[in-house]
Structure 1
Amino acid sequence: MTTLIRGGTVIDADNTYRADVLCADPQDGGTILQIGVDLEPPAGAAIVDAGGQYVMPGGIDPHTHMELPFMGTTASDDFYTGTAAGLSGGTTCIIDFVIPSPKQSLMEAFRTWRGWAEKASADYGFHVAVTWWDDSVYRDMGTLVHEHGVSSFKHFMAYKNAIMADDEVLVNSFSRSLELGALPTVHAENGELVFQLQRQLLAKGFTGPEAHPLSRPPEVEGEAANRAIRIAQVLGVPVYIVHVSAKDAVDAISRARSEGLRVFGEVLPGHLVIDEAVYRDPDWTRAAAHVMSPPFRSAEHREALWRGLQAGQLHTTATDHCVFCASQKAMGREDFTRIPNGCGGVEDRMAVLWHHGVNSGRLTPNEFVRITSTNAAQIFNLYPRKGAIRVGADADIVVWDPNASRTISVKTHHQKVDFNVFEGMTVQGVAMHTLTRGALAWTDGDLRAVRGAGQYQNRPPNPAYFDAIRVSNKLKEPHPVER
């Protein structure tokens, strides 16, 4: 059905104006057909009244882990429930992570994740992790880029004896990424330091969740972020640092960008608003529910993250959505290193950022659109079909009521998990309607997500970044010696 969004104020990353938006039927492409004042609806069109509300590009969450097998269990949100929860909060597209086991073929893992994702209710793409290296990984990276539109690769610098990529893997994979025009992304924590600190804490009798942040101090993140950036600098490749949580990592990114390096930073809403004191909650289950990596930090680090967003040194907001129920977290009751790492947020990201960012004056509405949608679309080559309100773009749209409020609670959320890290938080700014490629998937509290309606997003390499970098690298080559 064709849908007319009437009477709203369109907010893009760089513009704000009053307009109606006409969206094609999903069966006819689900794109934006027309933008203008006082548009006439076609016969039989659905009308969405957006009076007094904002019409914005649907959110893009560039960092999720739906139904991820991890630490002896599997994340409880699958690709259907997780994307449906996202739609209820205004997120219309995710980029999830394929994580091969050590020595597993990248293509084999990719095919597995593609099968799981067929039930997604919103559009999705993939990053693929490089967890080991040989000639087959080199070949598979090329196949993924050229035949499957995967143009970003993930590297875990943490999780020793599991999926950690050492410097040799980083150098090989970063170099191959440059050849392919693909973007390396990095989970920046020094895995060896984390491993040794965990052993020391356990030896001293610290077995509970309170030991988790002690084993992953800010310096561990700052060192790894700086190392990844400098490896990328030497090789002449851009790099994207996921879930930045510490001032140390923000400073490393800011320094690099001031030197002209192409470095991008991502931040999670939880790291912006949740204090590290949650790990000292006397209720073990509540404390363990907050165990994720990197951990939540103190006020000094949270303020540095806000400043990084405001200054443009951090570019995207994601969730690292990877949820485990209390019974799964209990696997680590006697040993904090066995608590499955992960928290939720795909449903609440946009509301938390609006409330604490826009309502506080830290962000403008246009900046909100930039960090929740447009920047991710541009960095990961989904733009302009996503991340913008423009004719011809996918009709992935959220109609946002800045005056409405709700209280976040596990009792009412749509995520398939029995805890919410934002439990009890009242936020002003709510997704009233969400369209995914023209289909109303969420409307005034009614979730209409359709299992399997999501489409895989092919993301070829983005020449906008790599052409300039290749020119720069060529200019740095030594001149031949005159004889």
Structure 2
Amino acid sequence: MSVLIRGGVVVNADGETRADVLCEKGRIVAVGTGLAAGADTEVIDAGGQYVMPGGIDPHTHMQLPFMGTVTADDFFTGTAAGLAGGTTTIMDFVIPSPQESLMGAFKKWRGWAEQACSDYTFHVAVTWWDESVHADMGTLVNQHGVNSFKHFMAYKNAIMADDEILVKSFRRALELGAVPTVHAENGELVFQLQQELLQAGVTGPQAHPLSRPPVVETEAVQRAIAIANVMNTPLYIVHVSCAESVEAIALARSRGQRVFGEALAGHLVIDDSVYTHPDFDFAAGHVMSPPFRSKAHQAALWNGLQAGSLHTTATDHCTFCAAQKATGRDDFTRIPNGCGGVEDRMSVIWDTGVNGGRLTPSEFVKVTSANVAQIFNMYPRKGVIAVGADADVVVWDPEATRTISARTQHARGGFNVFEGRVVRGNPSHTVSNGKVVYAQGDLRAVKGAGRYVERKPFGPIFDALQRKRQSAA
């Protein structure tokens, strides 16, 4: 069956135009005025609405084994929630345990993801190093469509990558045409601060932001930028949360470095007062890393998005229920780190960004889909309404309002960091792979309908960077 989206305003990263959009066999086959509908065509009336590329969330954790438990959302429930919110592709993370082969972990995650109902792709984390890791990185890039590798600079005694691993992995990524990404927090400083707080008897969620002040993030951001500069690699920094990190990225870019920054929807609208809430379940429900910051840091993140120092928006969707969070009731370091948001990112950013006068609709498309697709080499298959692109489309009603609540969300976990927030601007319809999967509140997610998206390595610019590094050596 074909899908015709008629009478809306098509919004891409480079502008707006009134047009119909015809989808057939999973692709967009026509964009123009007066398109005709066949006998078997499902017609969506988009009058008074925007027609935009489906959202791409570049940072999710579905079915993640972490801190002694497993996230509440698996690949079916998590991607279904995403579709309800207008997100049609997720970028999840394969995270091998230390000494676990990258290929073994990748195959395990691929198996878990077979139940996804939207498209998905993977970053693969480098958590340890030997020659097998070097070889597996090549196999992943050349045979399995992986072109980004994640490095946790935090979580000492678990998955933290030290400077030696960063140098070796960045070098290998450059050889392969892949993008290194980092979770930037100084893991040693975090560990020491955690121990000091526990020894002082500060054991509740209020200690979490105290153990991860902005300086531990900024130091790691600056260190990662310096290593990437010496190695001549691009760098993508996930969940940037503080003003100093935005400034470090802007400075590096002003000097010609290819550094990209990601902001989380939660960090853009939630402040650190949540950690002093008297209810443990509420405070613990907001424990994630980096933690939520003050309103001054929120303003800096918005400035970074507006100025182009930050490029993408994500959620770090990583849900845990109250019983899982309660394992850290007497020791905040045992509270599983993670919050949800894949269902609400688009609406929160539209309401706060576009309605708030911070972003234009085209800039909204940039930071919710187009930039991700370009940075990770999925464009123009993803991130644009154009002939030949995947038929991943969200029809956006700018006047529709809803109140975000855990009681009505499709995601699991029973908690929502945006609880009670009223947002204006929501999807009326979501089209994924050419099929209507969400229509006016009716979620039609099909388990296993999602496809794995292979991403080719980068070519000429990486070749030039490689030559530059070799000549410098």
Counterpart of 1:145?
141
Counterpart of 1:404?
400
Q: Which 4+ stretches in 1 moved above 6 angstroms?
A: none
CA distance in 2, matches of 1:412, 1:468: 50
Identity of aligned residues (%): 68
Counterpart of 2:274?
278
SS at match of 2:362: helix
- Write the deviation string for residues 97-123 of structure 1: whole angstroms up to 9, x where unpaired: 000000000000000000000000000
Counterpart of 1:351?
347
Counterpart of 1:7?
7
* Residue ranges of structure 1 left out of the alignment (5+ in a row): 479-483
Shift of 1:463: 2.2
State the one-letter code of the partner of 2:185. Answer: E
State the one-letter code of the partner of 2:21. Answer: V
State the one-letter code of the partner of 2:14. Answer: D
Shift of 1:177: 0.4
Counterpart of 1:156?
152
* 1:166-185 aligned within 5 A: 166-185=162-181
CA distance in 2, matches of 1:9, 1:464: 36
Question: Is the counterpart of residue 21 in structure 1 residue 16 in structure 2?
Answer: no
CA distance in 2, matches of 1:463, 1:370: 23
Shift of 1:471: 5.1
Counterpart of 1:78?
74
Question: Is the counterpart of residue 219 in structure 1 residue 215 in structure 2?
Answer: yes
Question: Is the counterpart of residue 187 in structure 1 residue 183 in structure 2?
Answer: yes
SS at match of 1:400: strand
State the one-letter code of the partner of 2:8. Answer: G
Question: Is the counterpart of residue 93 in structure 1 residue 57 in structure 2?
Answer: no
* 1:247-258 aligned within 5 A: 247-258=243-254
42, 45, 49: which one aligns with 1:49? 45
CA distance in 2, matches of 1:47, 1:468: 48
CA distance in 1, matches of 2:306, 2:464: 26
SS at match of 1:369: helix
Question: Is the counterpart of residue 325 in structure 1 residue 282 in structure 2?
Answer: no
State the one-letter code of the partner of 2:445. Answer: A
State the one-letter code of the partner of 1:22. Answer: L
- Write the deviation string for residues 137-183 of structure 1: whole angstroms up to 9, x where unpaired: 00000000000000100000000000000001001100100110110
Shift of 1:464: 5.7
Question: Is the counterpart of residue 477 in structure 1 residue 472 in structure 2?
Answer: yes
Question: Is the counterpart of residue 113 in structure 1 residue 112 in structure 2?
Answer: no
State the one-letter code of the partner of 1:23. Answer: C
SS at match of 2:115: coil
State the one-letter code of the partner of 2:194. Answer: Q
* Residue ranges of structure 2 left out of the alignment (5+ in a row): none
CA distance in 2, matches of 1:42, 1:19: 17
SS at match of 1:118: helix
- Write the deviation string for residues 337-390 of structure 1: whole angstroms up to 9, x where unpaired: 000000000000000000000001100000000000000000011110110000
CA distance in 2, matches of 1:140, 1:38: 51
Counterpart of 1:59?
55
Asked if the contact 2:175–2:466 (Cα under 8 Å) also holds between the matched residues in 1, the reply is no
Counterpart of 1:208?
204
CA distance in 1, matches of 2:285, 2:292: 12
SS at match of 1:96: strand
Shift of 1:299: 1.1
CA distance in 1, matches of 2:21, 2:175: 41
* 1:238-277 aligned within 5 A: 238-277=234-273
Q: CA RMSD in A?
A: 0.9
368, 373, 376: which one aligns with 2:369? 373
Question: Is the counterpart of residue 301 in structure 1 residue 260 in structure 2?
Answer: no
TM-score norm. by structure 2 comes to: 0.99
Shift of 1:472: 4.3
State the one-letter code of the partner of 2:266. Answer: G
Counterpart of 1:384?
380
Shift of 1:300: 1.1
CA distance in 2, matches of 1:204, 1:402: 50
* 1:456-475 aligned within 5 A: 456-463=452-459, 465-470=461-466, 472-473=468-469
CA distance in 2, matches of 1:321, 1:4: 32
Asked if the contact 2:141–2:457 (Cα under 8 Å) also holds between the matched residues in 1, the reply is yes
TM-score norm. by structure 1 comes to: 0.97
Q: Is the alpha carbon distance of 1:8 and 1:347 closer, same or farther for their aligned partners in structure 2, counting shifts above 3 Å?
A: same
CA distance in 2, matches of 1:130, 1:471: 24
Shift of 1:468: 4.3
- Write the deviation string for residues 230-273 of structure 1: whole angstroms up to 9, x where unpaired: 00000111110000001111111011001100000000010010
CA distance in 2, matches of 1:316, 1:327: 32
CA distance in 2, matches of 1:345, 1:15: 27
CA distance in 2, matches of 1:10, 1:468: 36
Paired residues in the alignment total 473
Counterpart of 2:415?
419
CA distance in 1, matches of 2:458, 2:135: 20
* 1:424-439 aligned within 5 A: 424-439=420-435
State the one-letter code of the partner of 1:350. Answer: M
State the one-letter code of the partner of 1:202. Answer: L
CA distance in 1, matches of 2:269, 2:15: 28
CA distance in 2, matches of 1:197, 1:44: 63
State the one-letter code of the partner of 2:126. Answer: V
Question: Is the counterpart of residue 199 in structure 1 residue 183 in structure 2?
Answer: no
SS at match of 2:320: coil
CA distance in 2, matches of 1:106, 1:472: 29
Shift of 1:42: 1.5
- Write the deviation string for residues 390-440 of structure 1: whole angstroms up to 9, x where unpaired: 001000000000011100001111001110000000000000000001110
Q: Is the alpha carbon distance of 1:367 and 1:209 closer, same or farther for their aligned partners in structure 2, counting shifts above 3 Å?
A: same
- Write the deviation string for residues 194-233 of structure 1: whole angstroms up to 9, x where unpaired: 0000000000000000000000000000000000000000
Asked if the contact 2:346–2:368 (Cα under 8 Å) also holds between the matched residues in 1, the reply is yes
State the one-letter code of the partner of 1:390. Answer: A
